[in-house]
Amino acid sequence: MKKTVFCITVMTFLILLFSGCSKLKKEQKTSPPKPSAIEDASLSPVDKWLARATPVLDDKEGSLNPYVIKIIDAYPLDGSYPYRWEKNEYDIYNGVTQDLVYKGQVVAKAHPNKTRCSNCCGLTFEIFFRAMQMRNIQKGISPDDFNGMSFDDLFNAMLIWFIVGEQDSPQKAIECYGLGKKIADWEDARAGDFCDISRSGNSGHSVIFIGWVYDPAGKIEGMEYFSSNSSGVGFQTEFFSDSDGKVLREWVRLARVGSIQNYQSFDKSTIPDRKTYAPK
């Protein structure tokens, strides 16, 4: 009797052991290691996801786009990263989900309510910032070197990105600081390009382009994008004003951050100084 019980126990142990090993191997193939308890306590959900992420594979152009998409993948889409835009909060909040630090200084401030809220301009700039730092680290470059930009340069670029002055846009910020180029031909647009749109009714949105929506005849009738929307961080589709939507075709401005090797030098004297708009 004892021998039978012993045999059953050994067999049960072996089954559990091999089942456990098989499951572990499967998990190792499909998901990266879980962060430690210290990481859980100190990092945001996005930081924790990125800490476990696999390296980014560059595209043929060497653009920032694959890094942008990797950063987008890190954001939860369950409403836990809500939208917030209120007037007169600039001194305490720049629309980002967490403080962004460049060269030891905070270039953009998260809201002190610690809800990880954001607005559209803040989130797209945050994704740009994270993607730039991720690429630099992966390439063995200082995360605080965006084409030689100083803290003041990046702060000014952020204000241009936030459209505080006439004709400002993410496209303009990217071009002014030699980081990339505007996308004039819509068929050249790719997921991970930065974009801002204007709508009938005098509203606008800062977004990251994901893809075009085509009608049965092959005409572009809308756009899928990622941004901080009224329902929170996530994907959304909008249509053009001539396709039962509100987006104005003539006010779609697209740009792409190119390869590090193709950065261009910039002349500060030719770049509008938007820091005068910033709070003292």
| pLDDT per residue of the chain (280 residues) written in tens, 0 to 9 | 434 443 434 344 333 333 333 322 333 333 344 433 444 557 999 999 999 999 999 999 999 999 999 999 999 999 999 999 998 899 999 999 999 999 999 999 999 999 999 999 999 999 999 999 999 999 999 999 999 999 999 999 999 999 999 999 999 999 999 999 999 999 999 999 999 999 998 999 999 999 999 999 999 999 999 999 999 999 999 999 999 999 999 999 999 999 999 999 999 999 999 987 665 5
Cα gap 273→279, rounded to integer Å: 14
Question: Which pLDDT belongs to residue 98?
Answer: 97
Question: Which pLDDT belongs to residue 87?
Answer: 86
Angstrom distances, CA of residue 217 to CA of 212, 220, 242, 243: 14, 9, 14, 13
Question: Which pLDDT belongs to residue 42?
Answer: 72
Question: Which pLDDT belongs to residue 114?
Answer: 95
Burial (CB count within 10 angstroms: exposed 0-12, middle 13-18, buried 19+), residue 79? exposed
For residue 113 the two structure tokens come to 């309510």
Rounded to 10°, the helix 151-161/120-138 angle is: 140
Q: Is the pTM of this model over 0.95?
A: no
Angstrom distances, CA of residue 244 to CA of 185, 193, 218, 240, 248: 23, 25, 16, 7, 11
3-state secondary structure of 266: coil
Instruction: Please report the DSSP string for 176-224 in residue order.
Output: HTTSEEE--SGGG--TT-EEEEEETTTEEEEEEEEEEEE-TTS-EEEEE
Domain segments of the chain: what residues? 57-259
Question: Which pLDDT belongs to residue 38?
Answer: 41
Question: Which pLDDT belongs to residue 26?
Answer: 32
Cβ pair 108, 100 in contact under 8 A: yes
For residue 274 the two structure tokens come to 């938007």
